[in-house]
Amino acid sequence: MGGHGFFEGFVDERREVGALTIRVRHGGKGPAVLLVHGHPRTGATWHRVAAALVDAGLTVVCPDMPGYGQSSCPPVRPDHRQQSKRVVAGALVDLMRGLGHERFHLAGHDRGCYVALRLALDHPAAVERLAVLDGIPISEALERADARFAQKWAHWFFFGLADKPELAVGADPDRWYGGSAEHMGPDAFAEYRAAIHDADTRQAMIEDYRAGLGPDREDELADRAAGRVLEQPTLFAWSSRDDMVDFYGDPLAIWRLWAPDVVGVEIDSGHHMAEENPAALASALIRHFRTIPTT
């Protein structure tokens, strides 16, 4: 994977999607794959994985999610619905259609995992095969939240407060978020730092969590009440040095409640698997997405 430059051969452009401007990189030939990053990363987190997928004969689309990176930040609403996974997923479907992809494979990591879940549930005809990485549905995580969860993932609840999170994160974004050029690559790290030092982007990323506690949880509970499950063959991948197993024992069993056709794979990595073990992640995604070609 070391023979490629940073998104070498990819188009890097801004696309108007409704009232939003979405920064997106796309390249390759073959069936399309949409890669959705998590918090507080940008689409650049995928650059090593994207190169491997292109080499495997896939078209790869790596946007900065609305409210992240160099994509625009929607105006804040009192109910935080503007950053809900339903709204973000709808914008990404429109983005893919604008790029000529009516049907595509989909992978999401961290907060992007929740967007991928929502997109596959709300737009089943658009998604052929799904991969969810290092996360379980928000409603399931909140129902299992205990003192250990609150201690390690306190930001889930802190970000739900008004105003104070923006003040705290804005005081020293580098210290709050961390990250390094060594793990991310110098170009991806530079994009990430520019994003976390932008006040509007920081607020939008915090709004992602406020939406998680409100409309996203409500939308998932409505799905469960209606008996809605994923129609797509689904891959759940978790990092061996993250806390999925510590908190949930068998997180794959939780995904079986949502995805009748799910398989699991463990990646030898910390949480940011696309940066820490891109080769293993790319291999798992290629095996999953190439099983049945897109028609």
For every one of its 295 residues, what pLDDT tens digit does the chain have, with 9 covering 90 and above? 445 889 999 999 999 999 999 999 999 999 999 999 999 999 999 999 999 999 999 999 999 999 999 999 999 999 999 999 999 999 999 999 999 999 999 999 999 999 999 999 999 999 999 999 999 999 999 999 999 999 999 999 999 999 999 999 999 999 999 999 999 999 999 999 999 999 999 999 999 999 999 999 999 999 999 999 999 999 999 999 999 999 999 999 999 999 999 999 999 999 999 999 999 999 999 999 986 443 3
Tell whether 45 is covered by a domain: yes
Residue 285, amino acid: L
Residue 50 CA to residue 278 CA, distance in Å, equals 9
Asked if residue 238 lies in contact with residue 251, where contact means CB atoms within 8 angstroms, the answer is yes
CATH code: domain of residue 19: 3.40.50.1820
**Residue 271: active-site member:** yes
Domain with 261 in it: 11-289
Provide the pLDDT for residue 4: 80
Tell whether 3 is covered by a domain: no
Cβ-in-10-Å burial (0-12, 13-18, 19+) of 106 comes to buried
Tell whether 25 is covered by a domain: yes
Provide the pLDDT for residue 290: 85
Tell whether 294 is covered by a domain: no
Pairing assessment for the beta strands 11-17 and 20-27 based on DSSP bridges: antiparallel
**Residue 47: active-site member:** no
**Tally of residues, the chain:** 295
Residue 54, amino acid: V
Residue 26 CA to residue 3 CA, distance in Å, equals 18
| 107 phi/psi in degrees, rounded to 5 | -135, 140
In the chain, the number of structural domains is 1
Q: Assess whether the previous peptide bond of 40 is cis (omega < 30° from 0).
A: yes
Tell whether 1 is covered by a domain: no
Secondary structure class of 148 (helix, strand, coil): helix
Tell whether 153 is covered by a domain: yes
Asked if residue 44 lies in contact with residue 50, where contact means CB atoms within 8 angstroms, the answer is no
Residue 42 CA to residue 37 CA, distance in Å, equals 6
State the catalytic residue, choosing from 4, 155, 183, 271.
271
State the catalytic residue, choosing from 64, 110, 223, 242.
110
Residue 18 CA to residue 74 CA, distance in Å, equals 11
Tell whether 18 is covered by a domain: yes
Residue 295 CA to residue 293 CA, distance in Å, equals 6
**CB neighbours of 181 closer than 8 A, spacing ≥ 6?**
189, 190
Residue 80 CA to residue 272 CA, distance in Å, equals 26
Residue with structure tokens 């709050």? 176
Secondary structure class of 234 (helix, strand, coil): strand
Of 235, 3, 28, which is closest to residue 135 (Cα–Cα)? Answer: 235
Across the chain, the runs of DSSP E, i.e. the strands, are 11-17, 20-27, 32-36, 59-63, 104-109, 127-133, 234-239, 262-267
Of 199, 65, 216, which is closest to residue 138 (Cα–Cα)? Answer: 216
Tell whether 236 is covered by a domain: yes
